[in-house]
Structure 1
Amino acid sequence: MPGQQVSHADVTVVVPAFNEEARVATVVSGLRVAFGRVVVVDDGSSDRTTELARAAGASVVRHPANLGQGAALQTGFAFALTDPDMRYVVTFDSDGQHRVEDALALLATARESGVDVVLGSRFLTPDTAVPAVRRAVLRAGIAFTRATTRLDVTDTHNGLRVLNRHAVRQIDLTLSDMAHASQLLGLIAKHELTWTEAPVVIDYADESRRRGQSNVNALNIVFDLALERLRSAG
């Protein structure tokens, strides 16, 4: 029923945020309709992100400085693990590009299938309108990740995912920026976690596109992953 509170008491939603005062309250309020426990990791914001997230009903963990989205997610994972009743973590971006109904669908897939990780994919829906430049960047990331992890994924940099407690314990993100998404997939492969993908819709509003991943960021992702690979081999 619309407006009905469904707590999913065994779920923690982790929302990394940096200077998102314009959206974070709306994102948290939407999540709170479906989930009882939402934690916003304020990654060193200089605006009212923390204040507005708390007012909307989220717990907030704050970094004193901006460390990057990967670091924010790792902080959120550590926070979620402090709850002994937590069985699932949902990761959800703070810029309004994800839909709560998609998060609920991914969670249902996780519960029904029993896999460790359910990854959201914008490319499983044929009519998804992905901007041309973004599509090219994402496809390059997909090719790189498939080659390095051997995971046959269709979308490598989607912030909407569900991980069970076992998977959260195995994830240790050391790449702080956008490369963390590919690193996470590499850890899924390394620890032989079971996974599947499920379709999601991304809202490509003008501001989300402006703040989103650019071609330069894609090159940074490749560089960070290559550097991490060299460190692991050393």
Structure 2
Amino acid sequence: MPTCASRIVVVIAAYNEAAVIGRVVAGVVNAGYRAVVVDDGSPDDTGARARAAGAVVVTHPINLGQGAALQTGFDFALAQGADVVVTFDADGQHRTADIARLVEALDRHGADYALGSRFRGGTVDLPASRRLLLGAATAFTRITTGLAVTDTHNGLRAVTRRGLARLRLRQNRMAHASEILHQIALSGLPWVEVPVTIEYSAYSLAKGQRMSDAVFILVDLFARRMHR
């Protein structure tokens, strides 16, 4: 049975996104979804502008990182009775129309995780250097998790309530994207990839990952594995 839009919560982790967050939230709300913005200790007007655009805003008093912000959003959404949680980037890269495609894929495939893939879908203005970085991250994830994914660090995904109960993010910063896939593999629950479109801009590229970030992500992941 298709999931009612009112039972879908779109979680947006945001830090210093005052320039674009109003437009991002308005797109989600106008499409009929509930938007929850986790303002991760932003010193700018991110929270106020998100609230004015129609989001429920949960605020971290200090910046903890995107992984921590998403976990806060997950906990809040579950407490609010969400059946499906969609993660959505705050920087304007994602298309609101792709939310419905992800949720429909959960229903159609009986899956608990629908993972957006720009490499099965499309990209707009993706730099060659970023493509190389994403390809290396995907290869690493396929080796370490056994999941045959085509796109690792894609923040657009939909998760059922049952699937969300199997996720508990401990990587507070960017390594959370790989951690999510590792936990999906451990859960044994069904997953599916869904073609989506990612639109790059000068703004989103300035906020995104660099090659040096990839090194820190690998260090974080290996350290976590060593302490298990």
TM (norm. structure 1) is 0.93
**Structure 2 residue 26 is the aligned partner of structure 1 residue 29:** yes
For 2:122 and 2:22, the matched residues in 1 are separated by: 31
For 1:57 and 1:222, the matched residues in 2 are separated by: 37
Alpha-carbon RMSD across the aligned residues, in angstroms, is 1.3
For residue 140 of structure 1, the aligned residue among 136, 139, 162 is 136
Task: Give the structure 1 partner of residue 44 of structure 2.
Answer: 47
Asked if 1 retains the 8 angstrom alpha-carbon contact of 2:124 and 2:200, the reply is: no
Asked if 1 retains the 8 angstrom alpha-carbon contact of 2:123 and 2:198, the reply is: no
For residue 76 of structure 2, the aligned residue among 76, 79, 85 is 79
Gaps of 5+ in 2: none
Give the C-alpha shift of residue 125 in structure 1: 3.0
Q: Which moved more, 1:149-158 or 1:109-118?
A: 109-118
Task: Give the structure 2 partner of residue 164 of structure 1.
Answer: 160
Matched residues, number: 225
Asked if 2 retains the 8 angstrom alpha-carbon contact of 1:13 and 1:35, the reply is: no
For 2:73 and 2:89, the matched residues in 1 are separated by: 12
For 2:219 and 2:158, the matched residues in 1 are separated by: 27
Task: Give the structure 2 partner of residue 182 of structure 1.
Answer: 178
Give the C-alpha shift of residue 81 in structure 1: 0.7
TM (norm. structure 2) is 0.96
Q: Which has the higher strand share?
A: 2
For 2:32 and 2:219, the matched residues in 1 are separated by: 37
Task: Give the structure 2 partner of residue 3 of structure 1.
Answer: none
For 2:210 and 2:68, the matched residues in 1 are separated by: 20
Gaps of 5+ in 1: 1-6
Task: Give the structure 1 partner of residue 117 of structure 2.
Answer: 121
Give the C-alpha shift of residue 130 in structure 1: 2.5
**Structure 2 residue 16 is the aligned partner of structure 1 residue 19:** yes
For 1:32 and 1:43, the matched residues in 2 are separated by: 20
Structure 2 residue identity aligned to 1:151: L
Task: Give the structure 2 partner of residue 173 of structure 1.
Answer: 169
Instruction: Work out the percentage of aligned pairs sharing the same amino acid.
Output: 49
For residue 197 of structure 2, the aligned residue among 186, 196, 201 is 201
For residue 102 of structure 2, the aligned residue among 106, 131, 135 is 106
Deviation by residue 1:107-163 (Cα, 9 ceiling, x = unmatched): 111122220000000001367653111011111111111111000000000000000
Give the C-alpha shift of residue 35 in structure 1: 3.1
